[in-house]
Amino acid sequence: MTAQPVSSPSLWPAAHTQDARRPRSLQRQLGASDTVCERRAAYILSGAERTDTSDKRAAILGTYLHEGLLGSARTEYGWLVETSVADDTIRGHVDAVHLDAPTAARLPKRLRPTTPAQVTTVEDVKTKSTFLWDKVVRYGATAAEIRQVYLYADLLRTVGWVDKYGQKPLARLGPIDVRRIRFRFVNRDNGAEHVQEFDFDRAEATRARWWVQRVMEYESPEEASRSFDGPGLDAICDNCPFRTPCWGEPKTPGAAVQTVLVHNDADREAALAEYVRGHEMENEGKRIKARVRKKLDDSPAGIYGLNQLAWTGGNAVQEVDREAMIDVFDVLGVPVPEKTGADFERMETVMKEAGIAIPMRNAAKKTPRAIRVTAVPK
Ligand code: SF4
């Protein structure tokens, strides 16, 4: 890697410093976006110090992209973006709210959307990498993402917008009759969009509220369950500012932090049973995939129901055409280098040095052919 010249410092220290100043990074109150892990939410509510840092470059790029997209939607479509909602227990910023015509008509003209929504809709915009894209298209929002958006929607339905500078006309509307939820996923590598939409469900909103209530009732964060498997296994933990207090230090230096979960032989017995269960599931999964792979061996690529079949590889492998190489030497009147027979390695070297193209041909073998199954983009 080339060293960074002193006259051209990396941009990342500046980006990290600015990111640390964002209200989100400083807040001690529970934000709807903090409801991803029960224990993490409990740490925030307890006012615990954030002890751990992590490389936030990908997250910062995601934030820039998010701000850029929402800023464009506000300018071009008149969307209400990044507005604040809160009550006594929770607060957050709603990515976008699309008001229906009667509600929009109660706002000053400058705040009205270009096109009102059929029903008032809360929209959450998530940027995702290509690595996660198939999962996004196949399964949509995660349970934590759904909980987060329901908290926003329920705050709007019960309280409305926060009465603060910059959104006073919104606050004057009071509670908003949110009827629909929309997730808009944007692939941060290629810009693809995927939209998931459903009606607001009161039961789901109640479940999200209960989740927060339960976290608030813990007397100490350690009573809250860990929603993830820990550093090295879940990216959420790798980037969690509370990973040291959450997992502590392993008794054996250098061992995985998850060793803190094993205290005695009974724990080891349970862990081994879990390992065997995982092994059996893995074997069964491999068996199913191998059987299906053979069944589909001559099926053409295409869309079949919810899945898209594609093939990679199976291409001709190129190899040096030795007979043609001897012909080239003959035509040029150059003696063929010999060892026990023609020295083909030496011939290649001579031709490269002379700038003559080495004749190639398709070999009998082909590159390995691999199956690729992805969700059909909706
Ligand atoms: S380290 Fe993982 S499990 Fe622990 S609080 Fe953070 S996100 Fe939750």
Q: How far apart are CA 60 and CA 66, in angstroms?
A: 10
Distance 180 CA to ligand 1 centre (A): 31
Domain annotation covers residue 126? yes
Q: How far apart are CA 33 and CA 129, in angstroms?
A: 19
In contact, 147 and 172? CB cutoff 8 Å: no
Please, is 207 exposed, middle or buried when counting C-beta atoms within 10 Å of its C-beta (0-12, 13-18, 19+)? Answer: middle
Domain annotation covers residue 23? no
For 164-199, the pLDDT digits (tens) are: 998 999 999 999 999 999 999 999 889 999 999 999
Residues 282 and 340 reside in one and the same domain: no
Residues 267 and 356 reside in one and the same domain: no
Confidence (pLDDT) at 155: 95
Distance 40 CA to ligand 1 centre (A): 5
Residues 84 and 184 reside in one and the same domain: yes
Residues 79 and 212 reside in one and the same domain: yes
Read off φ and ψ for residue 314, nearest 5 degrees. 75, 15
Number of domains in the chain: 3
Residues 134 and 184 reside in one and the same domain: yes
Residue 215 gets the label, from left (phi > 0), alpha (psi -120 to 50) or beta, of: alpha
Determine how many CB atoms are found less than 10 A away from the CB of residue 197.
Answer: 12
Q: How far apart are the first and last CA of the chain?
A: 41
Residues 160 and 197 reside in one and the same domain: yes
- In the predicted model, residues of the chain with pLDDT beneath 50 are 1, 25-26
Q: How far apart are CA 129 and CA 57, in angstroms?
A: 13
Confidence (pLDDT) at 59: 81
Domain annotation covers residue 230? no
Q: Which of these three, 159, 182, 216, is where a domain ends?
A: 216
Domain annotation covers residue 243? no
Confidence (pLDDT) at 25: 46
- Residues 6 or more apart from 266 whose CB is under 8 A from it? none
| Candidate of 44, 46, 226 to mutate for ligand 1, largest count of ligand atoms within 8 Å of Cβ | 226
Residues 287 and 321 reside in one and the same domain: no
Nearest CA to ligand 1 atom 5: 40
Q: Length of the chain, please?
A: 378
The ligand 1 atom nearest the CA atom of 227:
3
Residues 66 and 203 reside in one and the same domain: yes
Query: Where residue 69 sits, what CATH number does that domain have?
Result: 3.90.320
Residues 206 and 97 reside in one and the same domain: yes
Domain annotation covers residue 332? yes
Domain annotation covers residue 228? no
Confidence (pLDDT) at 165: 92
Q: How far apart are CA 200 and CA 121, in angstroms?
A: 9
Mean model confidence pLDDT for the chain: 90
The ligand 1 atom nearest the CA atom of 38:
8
In contact, 310 and 282? CB cutoff 8 Å: no
Q: Which helix (H) or strand (E) holds 316?
A: strand 316-320
Domain annotation covers residue 280? yes
Confidence (pLDDT) at 1: 46
The ligand 1 atom nearest the CA atom of 243:
1
Alpha-carbon Rg for the chain in angstroms? 29
- Residues 6 or more apart from 116 whose CB is under 8 A from it? 98, 99, 100, 101, 104
Domain that holds residue 185: 52-216
Residues 276 and 324 reside in one and the same domain: no
Residues 208 and 353 reside in one and the same domain: no
Domain annotation covers residue 184? yes
Residues 59 and 135 reside in one and the same domain: yes
Name the residue among 158, 161, 185 with its Cα closest to residue 172: 161
Task: Give the pairing of strands 302-304 and 307-312.
Answer: antiparallel
Q: Which of these three, 216, 233, 248, is where a domain ends?
A: 216
Q: Which residues line ligand 1 (CB under 6 A)?
A: 37, 39-40, 226-228, 236-237, 240, 242-243, 246
